[in-house]
Amino acid sequence: MPILKIAYLELPAQDIPASKAFYANLFGWTFTDYGPTYAAFSESGTEGGLNADPAERTAAPLAVIESSDLEATEQAILAAGGKITLPIFSFPGGRRFHFTDPAGNELAIMQRA
């Protein structure tokens, strides 16, 4: 079985500058921008990001689970009754896909490059 751990939390955002200011002022987080619709943070106890891309952001916070074998984890999710909602794609730093559990919760699995 691949190694699996929650490694990243992605928060949906409408306005990146406003969300960054909120979390910076509230918690002292700093951000790395990846274009106009994504900003990553790392001083929160876990790594994470703010996603404001209307075509890519989720409706709720997205837990991203790290896997040592993306394809094997995808097959295990399908065998367990999960549904793939976003096929494997590349992002800066690796690859990932999204799925839903039987209750409809959306999660993601990533594998670092």
Q: What total of structural domains would you count in the chain?
A: 1
Per-residue pLDDT tens, the chain, 113 aa: give them. Answer: 677 888 999 999 999 999 999 999 988 899 999 999 999 998 788 899 999 999 999 999 999 999 999 999 999 999 999 999 999 999 988 999 999 998 899 999 999 99
**Measured distance CA(19)–CA(50) in Å, rounded:** 8
Query: What domain range includes position 48?
Result: 4-112
pLDDT at 23: 93
pLDDT given at position 85: 96
Domain of 85, CATH number, reads 3.10.180.10
Q: Which segments of 17-82 are extended strands (E)?
A: 31-33, 38-41, 47-51, 62-67
Provide the sign of the torsion angle of the four alpha carbons 52, 97, 63, 66, taken in this order.
negative
pTM of the model: 0.85
